[in-house]
């Protein structure tokens, strides 16, 4: 067997692969998000009738998943490769399987299965139908046909492919801990990211100032509402939604949200997200 | 001419649990289509893999028979002009008309012949609709919004004899081209009705689910924990299943077996392996969707995933032990039970109170939900309760307490057992009762197939625990929802006749053990020859009282006339205090005679009212046992 790819080679190969199939290559969105889906390149671009295909690596922050760098498989921040193909081509699954070959997986020697796993994000008014893709018993991807986003039924059904990069590379390199992944030759994932996992776990679970977070939440919410009343500020307004969402996740990992508050806060984020989607759609229609 | 038919709906991977109902639905609809359009033929087989639904039929006509019907025109008396008009309307000429005599006179008429359509044309027209009408729990669109299916349709094979039945769904045209296994087969294989299954087999697809199941079973050479549901799933998530044996380090066997099995079964879809004594062995069976694992890569990969999962579980276990269950009670304030119903802390307090009233174990009630904040349950939610029980045991709680916690979600299904200890039964009962009552209170009544809080299951659990666990200190049972579950339980689960259940429940159902006793009695007495006639009379009495709008009236024995009326009264009096079983015999002839000879609707209103009162008294004699008018009898009077 040839030498397995490093973390960054895997990313490069996948980007090349999707670039060859007509995708725009984007860089990660620079506001904290919990998943690649939340980046505007997905959340907003799937709305409306314009075809759009894009691929990007999205560092995804989930404060409550942090483990101080102690757990071999759990991370506060993991890297997702996100691919949106809008509309989904009829051979989308074959294309996806081709991407696995491109990173050195000989499918004739492995077991691949598509197991039912529908996706739903109530805060984004979004859901889709799809699978988790299992490779030799390991979930390596989520595959979703979006049906609704921001409360709108979609004009063109996109396929969303998300690759859990750490998992896939750990599999390719046959290591049991993500920290043992070779990022590039001679440099381990541990060297690049461990400190970040430790410090942010500490911050997210112990140190984040709850009072300040609540204030931030209110401020970002107000700013979003203000922007939604103005023309041509849909994208800035959406940044404020993302800020609210991240602050909410931080409050959650600090155990600062009571049961009664929780429903209300989720409702507030959702309302903002739906407001942004509505504004985006209106602008689409006006442009058409 | 008689033709075979083949339909294959090629899709992306359909969830395993939806396939059988869909196949049945397809079979029924297609047979109905053949029958409705008189195309002849019978569906002979349906089968499926995750990527294809297949239907075969035999004996189809190549076209519908022509139909001739006689169309009546104008009377012959109106003359030739009208005849010509009628002929024109029928698309013919006047000389083709015949004369038809009817009771009203003679009429022009025409033997109109409708030519049968070609079967292929009928199928081509009807199939798109039929396919899209297959019922699924949740559908999607992928091309145009109006076309919904469970997953995208990617190809369609539709053959009538040697010819393609041409139609189109969401841009996919039917043809004779199928697709093989994603890895083992070729795409785009042309097939005939005859070679279809062989072509699939050559291309890595075993169409027959039975054969796939047998292939899995035949490939397992170790003793496994029997698991028909998982085997079913594995059969329907594979097109070419091949089992492989994997192993894990013996040291993981220190973890509770429940945890190991859950990880393997629910998360990895592995069958658990047992040693000769029935104990869990450090092996598992994974079922691949391919033909071989030549380099052992698949086994190795699965072992690696399982190791990580087991490590997680071990980590969770160790981590969770750092905070005792008792210390987790406060944390439940941040765990939502239901938005309108507050936190699990609130729920716990209600359950503790209820358990106290019912004489259960309060300590168990206090701790029963504390495992919800553990890492183990957050990761393996199916293990809620079980983990709490195991932790309570590990933390030195008495056996009564930890067993009650361990069991308190039971029974999880109709097949599942009820909790094994008295304390467990009370706790489970109280927990379910609280869920049910509180959810109904805020209007979360299940509708149709939607029952997000599992209220039906909770109610069913309540009924089973009380009856099968002989629980004498049950909370008050009332309301239509619970009533339906009680009725369902005794009728469908216990097999009592529906009218016996209704009759007995009409006499009260708050005490289920007492209800069960009455049901057993009524079931037995029903077999005696006098029962049905007397039940029929009871129904009659009820109708009479209803028609007379009888509410209540004092009965006066001195108003009775001698003969059948007084005889009946004395029979009632004479048998009073005896059980139903020995009263029916003496009463029945008296009742019959009464209805034969006595006019209830007597001209004297006082007599009439008194007779109604007598009948009313008779009816109420047994009303604490059952309402016999609910019994369905042969002799409905």
Identify the band that residue B307 occupies on the pLDDT scale cut at 50, 70 and 90. very high
Non-local (6+) Cβ contacts of A195 within 8 A are A69
Q: Could you tell me how many helices (H) and strands (E) chain A has, helices first?
A: 8, 11
Assess A157–B contact: CB distance below 8 Å, yes or no: yes
Mean pLDDT, chain B, rounded, equals 92
More confident: B618 or B433: B433
pLDDT per position as a tens digit, B421-463: 999 999 999 999 999 999 988 888 888 777 777 899 999 999 9
Task: Please tell me which residue of chain B has the smallest CA distance to A94.
Answer: B182
Say which range, A45-54, B42-51, B559-568, has the weakest mean pLDDT: B559-568
Residue B636 has pLDDT above 60, yes or no: no
Assess A2–B contact: CB distance below 8 Å, yes or no: no
Can you give the pLDDT at residue A79? 96
Mean pLDDT of A151-179: 95
pLDDT per position as a tens digit, B510-558: 999 999 999 999 998 888 888 888 888 888 888 888 888 887 778 888 8
Assess A259–B contact: CB distance below 8 Å, yes or no: yes
Which neighbouring-strand residues pair with B177? B190
Dmax over CA atoms of chain A, in Å, equals: 59
Token readout for B433 is 């009762």
Report the alpha-carbon distance of residue A31 to residue A33 in Å, rounded: 6
Non-local (6+) Cβ contacts of A222 within 8 A are none
CA distance A230 to chain B (A): 32
**Cβ neighbours of A176 in B, within 8 Å:** 304, 307-308
Beta B172-175 vs B153-160: how paired, if at all? parallel
Can you give the pLDDT at residue B447? 80
State pTM to two decimals. Answer: 0.82
Mean pLDDT of B396-420: 94
Q: Which value does ipTM take for this structure? A: 0.95
Token readout for A274 is 């739906």
Mean pLDDT, chain A, rounded, equals 95
pLDDT per position as a tens digit, B6-36: 999 999 999 999 999 999 999 999 999 999 9
Can you give the pLDDT at residue B562? 85
Q: Is the dihedral of CA B514, B516, B517, B521 positive or negative?
A: positive
Non-local (6+) Cβ contacts of B44 within 8 A are B56, B57, B58
Which of 329-388 (B) contact A at CB < 8 A?
331, 333-337, 339, 342-343
Q: What are phi and psi for residue B329, nearest 5 degrees?
A: -60, -45
List the single best residue of A116, A145, A270 to mutate versus B (max B Cβ within 10 A). A116
Assess B312–A contact: CB distance below 8 Å, yes or no: yes
pLDDT per position as a tens digit, A5-44: 999 999 999 999 999 999 999 999 999 999 999 999 999 9
CA distance A15 to chain B (A): 24
Identify the band that residue A260 occupies on the pLDDT scale cut at 50, 70 and 90. low
Kind and range of the H or E run holding B70: strand B67-75
A93, A115, A147: residue with CB nearest B12: A93
pLDDT over 90 for what percent of chain B? 62
Task: Please tell me which residue of chain A has the smallest CA distance to B170.
Answer: A90
Token readout for B404 is 């009650």
**Strand, helix or coil at B277?**
coil
Report the alpha-carbon distance of residue A100 to residue A78 in Å, rounded: 19
- Cα-Cα-Cα-Cα torsion B185, B186, B192, B197, nearest 10 degrees, comes to 0
CA distance A134 to chain B (A): 10
B237, B270, B305: residue with CB nearest A113: B237
Can you give the pLDDT at residue B634? 66
List the single best residue of B297, B310, B318, B349 to mutate versus A (max A Cβ within 10 A). B297
Can you give the pLDDT at residue B637? 40
Report the alpha-carbon distance of residue B401 to residue B422 in Å, rounded: 11
Which of 216-255 (B) contact A at CB < 8 A?
237-238
Can you give the pLDDT at residue A233? 95
Report the alpha-carbon distance of residue B246 to residue B244 in Å, rounded: 6
Q: Do A259 and B333 touch (CB under 8 A)?
A: yes
Residues recorded for chain A: 288
Please choose, from the candidates A1, A4, A21, the residue with its C-alpha nearest in 3D space to the C-alpha of residue A161.
A21
Q: Do B339 and A153 touch (CB under 8 A)?
A: no
Contact A77, A59 (CB under 8 A): yes
Q: What angle do CA B355, B358, B359 make, to 5 degrees?
A: 85
Assess B266–A contact: CB distance below 8 Å, yes or no: no
The angle, 0 to 180 degrees and rounded to 10, between the axes of the packed helices A259-287 and A210-228 is 30
List the single best residue of B14, B284, B338, B339 to mutate versus A (max A Cβ within 10 A). B339
Assess B481–A contact: CB distance below 8 Å, yes or no: no
Which of 45-84 (A) contact B at CB < 8 A?
71-73
Block residue for tokens 């009264």: B569
Say which range, A77-91, A172-186, A205-219, B584-598, has the weakest mean pLDDT: B584-598
Contact B405, B464 (CB under 8 A): no
Distances B363 to B331, B426, B433 between C-alpha atoms, Å: 17, 12, 18
pLDDT over 70 for what percent of chain B? 99
Residue A1 has pLDDT above 60, yes or no: no
Q: Do A171 and B301 touch (CB under 8 A)?
A: yes
Identify the band that residue B366 occupies on the pLDDT scale cut at 50, 70 and 90. very high
Q: What angle do CA B550, B554, B556 make, to 5 degrees?
A: 120
Assess A173–B contact: CB distance below 8 Å, yes or no: no
Non-local (6+) Cβ contacts of A213 within 8 A are A247, A250, A251, A254, A256
Mean pLDDT of A64-75: 90
Assess B65–A contact: CB distance below 8 Å, yes or no: no
């Amino acid at each position: 067997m040839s030498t397995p790819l490093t973390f960054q080679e895997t990313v490069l190969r996948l980007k090349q692969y999707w670039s060859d199939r007509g995708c725009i290559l984007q860089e990660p969105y620079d506001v904290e998000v919990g998943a690649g889906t939340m980046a505007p390149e997905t959340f907003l671009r799937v709305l409306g009738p314009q075809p759009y295909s894009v691929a990007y690596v999205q560092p995804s922050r989930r404060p409550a998943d942090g483990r101080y760098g102690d757990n071999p498989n759990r991370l506060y921040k993991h890297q997702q490769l996100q691919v949106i193909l809008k509309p989904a081509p009829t051979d989308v699954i074959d294309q996806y399987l081709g991407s696995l070959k491109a990173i050195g997986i000989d499918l004739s020697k492995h077991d691949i299965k598509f197991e039912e796993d529908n996706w739903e994000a109530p805060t984004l008014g979004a859901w889709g139908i799809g699978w988790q893709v299992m490779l030799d018993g390991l979930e390596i991807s989520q595959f979703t046909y979006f049906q609704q986003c921001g409360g709108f039924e979609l004009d063109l059904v996109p396929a969303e492919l998300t690759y859990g990069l750490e998992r896939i590379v750990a599999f390719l390199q046959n290591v049991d801990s993500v920290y043992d992944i070779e990022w590039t030759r001679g440099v381990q994932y541990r060297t690049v990211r461990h400190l970040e996992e430790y410090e942010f776990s500490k911050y997210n679970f112990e140190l984040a100032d709850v009072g300040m977070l609540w204030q931030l939440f209110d401020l970002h919410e107000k700013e979003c509402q203000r922007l939604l009343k103005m023309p041509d500020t849909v994208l800035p307004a959406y940044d404020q939604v993302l800020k609210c969402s991240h602050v909410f996740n931080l409050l959650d990992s600090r155990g600062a949200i009571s049961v009664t508050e929780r429903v209300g806060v989720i409702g507030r984020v959702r309302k903002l997200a739906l407001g942004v989607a509505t504004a985006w759609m209106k602008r689409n229609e006006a442009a058409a | 001419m008689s033709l075979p038919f083949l339909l294959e709906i090629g899709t992306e991977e359909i969830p395993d649990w939806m396939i059988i109902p869909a196949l049945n639905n397809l079979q029924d609809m297609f047979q109905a289509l053949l029958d409705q359009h008189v195309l002849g033929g019978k569906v002979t087989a349906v089968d499926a893999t995750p990527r294809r639904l297949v239907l075969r039929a035999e004996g189809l006509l190549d076209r519908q028979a022509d139909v001739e019907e006689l169309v009546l025109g104008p009377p012959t008396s109106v003359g030739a002009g009208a005849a010509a008009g009628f002929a024109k309307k029928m698309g013919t000429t006047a000389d083709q008309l015949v004369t038809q005599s009817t009771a009203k006179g003679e009429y022009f008429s025409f033997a109109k012949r409708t030519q049968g359509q070609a079967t292929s044309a009928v199928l081509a027209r009807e199939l798109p609709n039929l396919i899209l009408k297959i019922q699924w729990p949740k559908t999607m669109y992928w091309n145009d919004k109006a076309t919904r299916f469970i997953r995208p349709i990617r190809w369609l094979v539709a053959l009538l004899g040697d010819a393609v039945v041409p139609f189109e769904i969401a841009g996919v045209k039917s043809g004779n081209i199928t697709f093989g296994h994603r890895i083992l087969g070729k795409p785009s294989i042309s097939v005939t009705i005859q070679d279809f299954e062989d072509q699939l087999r050559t291309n890595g697809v075993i169409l027959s689910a039975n054969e796939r199941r047998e292939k899995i079973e035949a490939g397992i050479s170790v003793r496994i924990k029997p698991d028909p549901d998982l085997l079913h799933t594995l059969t329907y998530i594979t097109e070419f299943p091949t089992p492989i044996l994997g192993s894990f380090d013996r040291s993981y066997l220190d973890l509770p077996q429940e945890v190991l099995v859950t990880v393997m079964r629910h998360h990895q879809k592995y069958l658990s392996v047992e040693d000769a004594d029935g104990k869990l062995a450090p092996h598992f069976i994974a079922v691949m969707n391919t033909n071989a694992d030549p380099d052992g890569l698949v086994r190795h990969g699965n072992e690696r995933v399982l190791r990580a999962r087991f490590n997680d579980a071990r980590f969770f276990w160790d981590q969770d032990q750092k905070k005792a269950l008792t210390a987790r009670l406060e944390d439940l304030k941040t765990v939502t039970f239901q938005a309108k119903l507050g936190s699990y802390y609130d729920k716990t307090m209600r359950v503790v109170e209820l358990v106290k009233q019912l004489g259960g174990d309060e300590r168990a009630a206090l701790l029963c939900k504390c495992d919800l904040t553990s890492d183990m349950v957050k990761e393996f939610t199916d293990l809620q309760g079980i983990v709490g029980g195991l932790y309570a045991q590990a933390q030195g709680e008495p056996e009564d307490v930890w067993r009650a916690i361990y069991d308190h979600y039971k029974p999880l299904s109709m097949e599942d057992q009820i909790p094994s200890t008295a304390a467990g039964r009370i706790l489970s009962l109280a927990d379910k009762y609280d869920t049910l009552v509180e959810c109904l209170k805020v209007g979360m009544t299940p509708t149709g197939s939607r029952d997000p809080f599992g209220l039906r299951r909770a109610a069913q659990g309540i009924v089973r625990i009380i009856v099968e666990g002989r629980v004498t200190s049950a909370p008050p049972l009332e309301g239509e929802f619970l009533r339906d579950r009680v009725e369902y339980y005794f009728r469908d689960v216990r097999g009592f006749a529906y009218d016996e259940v209704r009759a007995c429940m009409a006499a009260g159902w708050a005490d289920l053990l007492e209800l069960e006793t009455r049901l057993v009695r009524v079931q037995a007495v029903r077999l005696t020859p006098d029962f049905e006639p007397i039940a029929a009379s009871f129904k009659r009495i009820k109708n009479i009282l209803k028609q007379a709008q009888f509410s209540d009236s004092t009965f006066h024995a001195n108003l009775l006339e001698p003969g059948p009326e007084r005889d009946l009264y004395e029979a009632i009096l004479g048998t009073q205090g005896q059980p139903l079983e020995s009263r029916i015999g003496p009463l029945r002839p008296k009742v019959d005679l009464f209805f034969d000879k006595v006019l209830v609707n007597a001209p004297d209103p006082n007599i009439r009212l008194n007779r109604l009162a007598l009948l009313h008294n008779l009816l109420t004699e047994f009303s604490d046992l059952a309402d016999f008018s609910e019994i369905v009898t042969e002799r409905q009077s």
